[in-house]
Amino acid sequence: MNNPKKILLVEDDQDIATLLRLNLQDEGYQIVHEADGHQALVQLEKQVWDAVILDLMLPGVDGLEICRRIRQMTRYLPVIIISARTSETHRVLGLEMGADDYLPKPFSVLELIARVKALFRRQEAMGQNIRMEGGLITCHQLSIDPLSREVRLRGDIIELTPREFDLLYWFARHPGEVFSRLSLLDRVWGYQHEGYEHTVNTHINRLRIKIERDPAEPEIILTVWGKGYKFASAKTEHTT
């Protein structure tokens, strides 16, 4: 890589950290390792990163709090959580806190590398789409700006997580098309894995609460029973 991606690895198990660091460096990534949550936050303030690989159970500050603080940053920073907390509750919580991916321990190093590559591919593809398509999308009294990643509803700013924005933006670009949960995982999250479909439901429910007049009777993001979801067709405008 001419300009290697810089990844902050936050993991308190030295053996795991060494294994991941060596393998990721072999793939051409620049890795900085921190074993303490407080030091990880210092690193996040000191320099610009391309991604964070984050354990949940850390000394100092735990991984969920670090993820929450990352999502308060103005610049979008991809996060992959790796954790021995393997329950569905912890996985959903991590994803809802804004993580881009969640790998329960033990996991294959090759799978982690594949997830990292998929994350960067998806990020680059989204960036190319934004550069090509440019301006605002306006529909259903929504104004969606892909450059500032700002959404307004009837003129008021709506606070969305990065993943909620990506999901809404994908839907708005494809009105009337039906997408299964696995398809949305592939298109929006950048991977397709059985068992993660519930996080699509969770994000859609949260989006509905924020943009629908009545989330129980949605008019914008519609359920197509037995097939998936679609964004209701409406007159959509792209402005530059």
* pLDDT value, residue 205: 92
* pLDDT value, residue 74: 66
Structure tokens at 122: 């998806």
pLDDT band, residue 126 (cuts 50/70/90) = low
Average pLDDT over residues 169-179: 91
CA atoms within 13 A on the CB side of 233: 3
Average pLDDT over residues 213-234: 92
Give the bridge partners for 239, in sequence order.
136
* pLDDT value, residue 195: 58
* pLDDT value, residue 100: 80
* pLDDT value, residue 119: 82
pLDDT band, residue 235 (cuts 50/70/90) = low
Question: pTM of the entire structure?
Answer: 0.63
Average pLDDT over residues 77-83: 89
Sorted by sequence, the CB contacts under 8 Å of residue 9 that are 6+ apart come out as 17, 20, 21, 24, 31, 32, 33, 34, 52, 53
Instruction: Check residues 1 and 103 and name the one with the higher pLDDT.
Output: 103
